[in-house]
Amino acid sequence: MDLSLTPEHADLRQLARNFADDEIAPHAAEWDRRESLDLDLIPRMGELGFLGLTIPEEHGGSGGDHLAYYLVLEELGRADSSVRGVVSVSLGLVAATIARHGTPEQHQRWLPALCSGRALGCFALTEPGTGSDAGALTTRAVRDGDDWLITGAKTFITNGTWADVALLLARTSDDGSRGITAFLVPTASAGFHRREINGKLGLRAQATAELHLDGVRVPDTARLGEVGRGFPLAMSALGKGRVSVAAGCVGIAQASLDAALRYAGERHQFGKAIAGHQLVQRLLATTAVDTAAARLLVWQAADLLDRGQPHETAASMAKLFASEAAVRAADNAVQVFGGYGYVDEYPVSRYLRDARVTTLYEGTSQIQQLVIGRSLTGVAAFS
């Protein structure tokens, strides 16, 4: 088993690291305070190929495998988890799903713009009354000749107020999860309304929105995949998306470790640097182990994906462990910083705030435990 990176992977990671250090990290605190990142950043990431990873070049993407994609997400997450979230959703959930399930016309219309950063996508699944129980969604699409009329509401939608297209899940029959269909809905459509959600605990620099659709009309050519097959399409996208979140969590954990190590070497108490105190070293050592273990789980899931092997359980393991590890890492970093860790003059309080939501979205930690448990026992414990 060889866990070393190829020269191509190493070069890409260094490119992403340099970009994150130069173009993202210096602005992250300001973006967090004003609750919005600089949108000029999006096309710059497109120029570097970050928004087209895993998408075939003939569709406007930059190619590459899943490991390459997750290496980039780790570096973006290390600098600012909000930026990582923008990429994870627009590329990982939207563009990659269009590439896999879309028609040639849908490929041509959306993928070059998404991969270049000229457009952004959002993934409109969660509703005010349905979170983990996504199969119970109530947004409805009704056939009207060659068109569909979509009415309903979505909430907690990343990129919602910035997106040009929403990959939206709507009910087309009352047959439970088998009655859900996916659509590509231009956000400029008549009857499509969106409102940004402010005052979040973390991920403040990325747009999170409520969407309201009042009889939005789309042609049948906007349907993504078969009628009634939207739920498995969405679950497949989220399965890979969980690894994206995990990769970003590795970045948060690494950033927390780096910050804690620097501060522990600079801060003196009781006549020496606090790095020389046993219990501080315990915090640092625990964080280092968590970070390394989370990274290996991400790489394992990436390897399975790139070899076309079953990856769902590995993805849930990576997401469960990495998200919880990121929270622990950031909390440990705040502890090392002491009182200074509680103010936003230092980045560790932002790391903790940003990490916390990763245990909730794209499947809570409890849902990941149920997925893993079902894989181990063969028994579904969802109901």
Tell me which residues are annotated as active site: 362
User: What is the DSSP code (8-state) at residue 127?
Assistant: B
Which two three-digit tokens encode residue 146?
């060659």
Q: Compute the distance between CA of residue 352 and CA of residue 2 in angstroms, rounded to an integer.
A: 33
User: Tell me, what amino acid is at 70?
Assistant: Y
Q: How far is CA 316 from CA 156, 240, 267, 363, 383, in A?
A: 21, 9, 38, 9, 19
Q: How far is CA 9 from CA 5, 12, 14, 249, 325, in A?
A: 6, 5, 9, 19, 25
Q: Compute the distance between CA of residue 263 and CA of residue 339 in angstroms, rounded to an integer.
A: 13
Helix axes of 348-356 and 312-337: crossing angle, nearest 10 degrees? 150
Which two three-digit tokens encode residue 74?
């780790």
User: Tell me, what amino acid is at 161?
Assistant: T
Considering only CA atoms, give the Rg of the chain: 21
Q: Cβ distance 72 to 50 under 8 Å? A: yes
Q: Compute the distance between CA of residue 107 and CA of residue 59 in angstroms, rounded to an integer.
A: 6
CA distance from start to end of the chain: 40
* Beta-sheet pairing, 121-124 with 165-171: parallel
Which two three-digit tokens encode residue 168?
């939206």
CA angle 115, 121, 126 (to 5 degrees): 145
Residues 6+ apart with CB under 8 A from 77: 84, 247, 248, 249, 250, 251, 252, 255
